[in-house]
Amino acid sequence: MKFAILPKPWTQTVTELEAEGHEHVSLEGNPDVLIYHGGAADFPEEIPESVQFAQFAWAGIDALDEAGILKRSGLRWANAAGLYDDNVAESTLALILGALHQYRRVTRDGSTTREIAHETQYLVEDKTVAIVGAGGIGKKLLSFLVPFGVYTIAVNRSGRPVEGADETVRMAEIESKNVWGRADVVVLLAPLTESTRGMVNADVLAQMKQTAVLVNVARGPLVVTDDLVEALNNGTIAGAALDVTDPEPLPADHPLWDCERCLMTPHTASTPRFGKQRIGGLTLRNWEALQRGEALRTEVDVEQGY
């Protein structure tokens, strides 16, 4: 296999694949596989006909889809679904705990101590956690939640039971099954599509418990940010924890920074070093599947965009 890595080579990935007998070439060297880890603006205008598929280094491929690159490229695409389940699930658990424990509200002078002590919540208090978009990360998170004894609701498109969840609900039934209203913690792990953009808006936030917290480690535009700011300031919900925002990066003067009940991390639920460590192996597995005439293990539906 000849492979190219854009926008620039990752030394660790190159070394790993070369050790397996594969050849690193430039795009002009007619690679069989293109490993891509950049954004829409960096994607080349023309791709050699030799490229049999493009391996994206991250799970979320919505930015490339929105820019029309998936369809324009004419390529088969694979994403990194499942590659970062463990570290993203760990980050998600940390955000859940941080939001429930009121970490964002700590002040230097201790003036918030009494309020924090009064309003801190714990997962071990018979909580219900809803995971919206319960794929690989959601399944790993479910296993991490077991010691806390929570009741878990997995929400997916198919409604097929998710292993480890106490209940599985089809995305289309999320309101009729009152998932928003039953959950103490709502975790967003859904892909960003036309149907999920803005799914958490003022109406949904109003359905949630006043003591509930919202955790988003998927994509910022799943949430209508202005509605979330208002809900936090009005006490509609108890808190939020966000690894992603809309817009992103969040401007320094954005009102979300002033929401004392919103804990934020800078899109670090997963970091580039995990991509460099893991994408080589996934690329090989997809290449081997292709050689056997099978579907790529993490093939993207170009029409659906995920």
Strand ranges across the sheet with 33-36: 23-24, 2-6, 33-36, 53-56, 77-78
Beta-carbon count within 10 A of 129 CB = 23
Is the bond leading into 9 cis (omega within 30 degrees of zero)? no
Q: Which residues are catalytic?
A: 219, 248, 267
How far apart, in Å, do the first and last CA atoms of the chain sit? 25
Which residue in 183, 71, 63 sits closest to 121, CA to CA?
183
Q: Could you tell me where the DSSP H helices lie in 183-267?
A: 202-207, 225-234
Between helix 85-100 and helix 136-145 the angle, nearest 10°, is 50
Q: Using an 8 Å Cβ cutoff, are 197 and 63 in contact?
A: no
Show the tokens assigned to 58: 């991250």
**Residues 303, 185: Cα–Cα separation, whole Å:** 32
Q: CA 22, CA 30: separation in Å to the nearest integer?
A: 14
Q: Specify which residues 130 forms β-bridges with.
A: 153, 186
CB 306 within 8 A of CB 66: no
Please, which residues have CB within 8 angstroms of residue 233's CB and are 6 or more apart in sequence?
Answer: 259
